């Protein structure tokens, strides 16, 4: 890894592939075809791109049953425990509405209403992660969403990965469709004969899925357009080089565009971590991907002071931040921008990816400056409610009418004056 003396603010922002013109045109054609032709378009693109012929899109009860019966019992228990942890954490995010009393029996309120239906896109192939099913579905369930749909591309055998089906089964999700790519996003947004539309789409995907989500935004809500994974580690001389190197590589193996950064006040640690990264790369199954990530986006920065290092972290606004310092919790209080913070030696980032209970769907590419990880609030609406009695109306009507006329909206003013104090006794 490259080692650099930290002197100025640093950035995680990369010039990432945002989709070329041909990819965008392809996505727009897919969206239009699904909107016009429904299931026929889904079958066409499933055969064209996934190499499979799909007669029945919905996963059957028998397929679910077989997946559960064939699955490793210990792994199923692990998923169940992880799901319980995630639910425990997200239950604390639930909001209650409120009602504010005013004079004369009037009141204002805010009501919390869950979305009616959400769709979760689960990538296929090597990126079919059951942990993503847990992370996307559970906050929606806690929010009170009644209809939760999963779409995912089937393999050459016409089936979805057992682990994905088992994760869905643990959560009680039964509406699952064997559809992937931009056509799945179109089906969730517009609906087809087999798939009713949803109100919001969440979940990661390839460039075609990302572009499709961006195109349908406005027709439906989306969670985010996520970029490649990122990790920043803030460490001092108390950290163990082999552990820090392993943590950096845990994100580098995701994607050649993933970013792994160490910021430290210790030159000794910097040199040792660089050596360890190279050593551990040689035995990593995804060495080729991780090596490209480290070579292109891996970096070690040496700071003069911890204050300088902390400010550098805030300028990065990383997706994941580990703090492995002697005063880790104290230092964490000074972090303003990070998707998730992992404090201390035993809080390695994968703990949050799988098991602790915090959500692993997090803002990337420095958007943690203004964005948050997926949570229960992403699956609710807040509705404002106003109740004015006649007396409150009479007290405030003239003020409202004057404000309306100040803005040149005579119709607003007349709507106020059409009732209440201007009419006299009825």
Q: In what order do the strands lie in the sheet with 221-222?
A: 176-177, 147-151, 117-121, 200-202, 221-222
Is 229 within any annotated ligand binding site? Answer: yes
Selected catalytic residue, list 90, 320, 331, 360: 320
Residues in the chain: 426
Is 98 within any annotated ligand binding site? Answer: no
| Active-site annotation holds for 360 | no
Is 331 within any annotated ligand binding site? Answer: no
Q: How many CB atoms lie within 10 A of CB 408?
A: 8
First to last CA, the chain: 83
**CA dist 321 to 13, 247, 293, 294, 412, Å?**
16, 11, 17, 17, 51
Is 254 within any annotated ligand binding site? Answer: yes
What are 344's two structure tokens? 């201390």
Give the dihedral sign, CA 24/30/31/33.
positive
Q: What gap in Å lies between CA 235 and CA 280, rounded to an integer? A: 19
Selected catalytic residue, list 63, 319, 322, 349: 319
| Active-site annotation holds for 337 | no
Q: In what order do the strands lie in the sheet with 230-235?
A: 2-5, 299-302, 259-264, 230-235, 320-324, 340-343
Max intra-chain CA distance, the chain: 89
Is 121 within any annotated ligand binding site? Answer: yes
Is 251 within any annotated ligand binding site? Answer: yes
Question: What 8-state DSSP symbol labels residue 60?
Answer: P
Is 183 within any annotated ligand binding site? Answer: yes
Alpha helix ranges (H) inside 198-348: 207-216, 241-252, 267-281, 287-297, 306-316, 328-332
Is 320 within any annotated ligand binding site? Answer: yes
Is 206 within any annotated ligand binding site? Answer: yes
Q: What gap in Å lies between CA 126 and CA 153, rounded to an integer? A: 12
Q: What gap in Å lies between CA 356 and CA 231, rounded to an integer? A: 17
CA dihedral of residues 337, 339, 344, 346 (deg, nearest 10):
-170
Which residues are annotated as catalytic?
A: 319-320
* Residue ranges at the known binding site for NAD(+): 121, 183, 206
* Residue ranges at the known binding site for Zn(2+): 251, 254, 353, 412
* Residue ranges at the known binding site for substrate: 229, 251, 254, 320, 353, 407, 412
* Residue ranges at the known binding site: 121, 183, 206, 229, 251, 254, 320, 353, 407, 412
């Amino acid at each position: 890894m490259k080692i650099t003396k930290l002197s100025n603010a640093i950035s995680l922002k990369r010039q990432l592939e945002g989709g070329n013109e041909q990819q965008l045109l392809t996505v727009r054609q897919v969206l239009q075809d699904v909107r016009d032709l429904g299931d026929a378009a889904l079958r066409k693109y499933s055969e064209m791109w996934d190499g499979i012929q799909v007669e029945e899109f919905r996963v059957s009860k028998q397929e679910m049953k077989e997946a559960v019966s064939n699955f490793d019992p210990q792994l199923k228990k692990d998923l169940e425990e992880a799901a319980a942890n995630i639910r425990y954490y997200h239950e604390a995010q639930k909001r209650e509405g409120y009602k504010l009393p005013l004079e004369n029996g009037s009141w204002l309120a805010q009501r919390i209403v869950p979305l009616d239906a959400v769709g979760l896109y689960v990538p296929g192939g090597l990126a079919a992660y059951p942990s993503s099913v847990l992370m996307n579905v559970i906050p929606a369930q806690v929010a009170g969403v009644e209809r939760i749909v999963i779409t995912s591309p089937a393999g050459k055998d016409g089936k979805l990965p057992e682990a994905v089906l088992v994760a869905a089964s643990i959560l009680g999700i039964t509406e699952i469709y064997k559809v992937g790519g931009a056509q799945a996003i179109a089906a969730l947004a517009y609906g087809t004969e087999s798939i009713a539309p949803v109100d919001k789409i969440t979940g990661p995907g390839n460039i075609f899925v990302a572009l499709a989500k961006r195109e349908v935004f406005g027709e439906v809500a989306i969670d985010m357009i996520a970029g490649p994974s990122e990790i920043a580690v803030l460490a001092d001389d108390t950290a163990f080089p082999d552990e820090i190197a392993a943590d950096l590589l845990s994100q580098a193996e995701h994607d050649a565009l993933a970013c792994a950064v160490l910021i430290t006040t210790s030159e000794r640690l910097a040199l040792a971590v660089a050596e360890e990264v190279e050593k551990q790369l040689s035995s990593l199954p995804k060495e080729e991907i991780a090596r490209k990530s480290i070579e292109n986006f891996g970096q070690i920065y040496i700071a003069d002071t911890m204050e300088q290092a902390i400010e550098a972290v805030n300028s990065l606004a990383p997706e994941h931040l580990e703090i492995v310092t002697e005063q880790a919790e104290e230092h964490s209080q000074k972090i303003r921008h990070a998707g998730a913070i992992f404090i201390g030696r035993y809080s390695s980032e994968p703990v949050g990816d799988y098991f602790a209970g915090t959500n692993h769907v997090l803002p990337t590419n420095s958007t943690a400056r203004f964005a948050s990880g997926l949570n229960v609030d992403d699956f609710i609406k807040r509705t404002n409610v106003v109740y004015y009695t006649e007396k409150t109306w009479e007290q405030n009507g003239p003020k409202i009418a004057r404000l309306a006329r100040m803005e040149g909206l005579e119709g607003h003013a007349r709507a106020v004056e059409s009732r209440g104090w201007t009419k006299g006794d009825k």
